[in-house]
């Protein structure tokens, strides 16, 4: 599940770099991503952008977290100091928590002498999405982050989803509706809420989803991830993961049942046929019928 959160948030911000910069560093302007060669010399930071802020080039460093990490202060400090040394630019570090998970590490991170005197005193910014009022994300200049509305304060409500859909359409960002649906599906937990969510997005034109870059990219990412895993785990495992990515994107409410069924199938040809059926299924009922049509030994029933 954590990987799904990572994939979705990175897909969203990749397409809306300036929106994220404007959220975290108001007034700053995105210039470029940190040079790939430099990034390869830094620990695996989530995001490193070079921005222009008050006439000065600085690096905006962001880590996205679904769960709290007791070592977060040190992690940010290591990323920050390495990036500063390598790039020669000042680095502003942020950690964005996507979902509430107990108490999180707060700034500053302090490395001290035995007598308590600070050796390193590192300050960073913490953003907890569940504490941000939804209206904040509706301000001009950051409309590309509207799919995060269900993650904001009191965001797990039908009215918020309705508002998100309207706001995306008004902002000319209907291509982000597939991502909006994906984020909402991760936080709506009850069967009733998930049924409502599916029906609400089913009401939208199929063309909006099928023609949206986000939908195509999400499917492509799923296939790409499956192919990458296939290099290590074999073609069968790769195809299973690709199928489950398609289900998670299109029919998240049956994702767990799909996982059980898919991992009971060993035959590669059967998995291929199932992948095609799930990719073109018109609704969740058709998707469930496709899953049930394949027996555990891989033969189509």
DSSP structure string for 218-240: HHHHHHHHHHHHHHHH-HHHHHH
CB 243 within 8 A of CB 223: no
Q: List the chain domain ranges.
A: 2-131, 136-211, 213-292
CA distance 48 to 31: 11
pLDDT of 248 strictly over 70? yes
pLDDT band for 38, please (50, 70, 90 cuts).
low
- CA 122 to chain CA mean position, Å: 27
Its pTM stands at 0.68
What's the average model confidence in pLDDT over 175-201?
86
pLDDT tens column, 285-295: 888 888 888 65
**What's the sign of the alpha-carbon dihedral 75, 81, 86, 91?**
positive
- Please report the DSSP string for 60-92 in residue order: EEEEEESS--TTHHHHHHHHHHHHHHHH-S-EE
CB 50 within 8 A of CB 31: yes
Q: What are phi and psi of 125, to 5 degrees?
A: -105, 140
Q: Which pLDDT belongs to residue 230? A: 37
Instruction: Tell me which residue of 103, 36, 91 sits closest to 60, measured CA to CA.
Output: 91
Share of the chain above pLDDT 70, in %: 82
**Do β-strands 125-128 and 91-97 pair in parallel, antiparallel, or remain unpaired?**
parallel
Instruction: Tell me which residue of 144, 102, 107, 137 sits closest to 123, measured CA to CA.
Output: 107
């Amino acid at each position: 599940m954590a990987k799904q959160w990572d994939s979705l948030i990175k897909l969203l911000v990749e397409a809306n770099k300036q929106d994220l910069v404007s959220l975290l560093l108001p007034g700053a302007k995105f210039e470029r991503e940190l040079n790939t060669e430099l990034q390869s010399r830094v620990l695996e930071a989530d995001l490193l952008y070079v921005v222009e802020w008050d006439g000065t080039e600085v690096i905006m460093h962001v880590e996205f977290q679904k769960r709290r990490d007791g070592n977060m202060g040190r992690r940010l400090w290591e990323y920050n100091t390495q990036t500063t040394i390598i790039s020669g630019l000042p680095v502003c570090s942020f950690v964005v928590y996507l979902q509430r998970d107990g108490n999180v590490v707060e700034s500053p991170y302090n490395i001290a002498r035995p007598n308590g005197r600070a050796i390193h005193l590192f300050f960073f910014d913490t953003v907890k999405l569940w504490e941000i009022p939804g209206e904040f994300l509706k301000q001009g200049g950051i409309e590309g982050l509207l799919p995060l509305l269900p993650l904001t304060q009191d965001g797990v409500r039908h009215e918020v989803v309705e508002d998100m859909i309207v706001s995306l359409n008004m902002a000319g960002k209907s291509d982000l509706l597939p991502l909006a649906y994906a984020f909402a599906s991760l936080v709506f937990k009850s069967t009733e809420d998930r049924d409502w969510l599916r029906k609400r997005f089913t009401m939208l034109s199929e063309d909006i989803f099928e023609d949206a870059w986000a939908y195509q990219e999400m499917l492509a990412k799923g296939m790409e991830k499956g192919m990458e895993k296939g290099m290590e785990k074999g073609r069968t495992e790769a195809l299973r993961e690709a199928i489950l990515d398609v289900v998670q994107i299109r029919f998240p409410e049956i994702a767990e049942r799909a996982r059980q069924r898919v991992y009971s199938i060993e035959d590669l040809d059967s998995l291929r046929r199932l992948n095609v059926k799930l990719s073109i299924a018109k609704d969740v009922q058709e998707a469930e019928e496709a899953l049930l049509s394949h027996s555990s030994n891989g033969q189509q029933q």
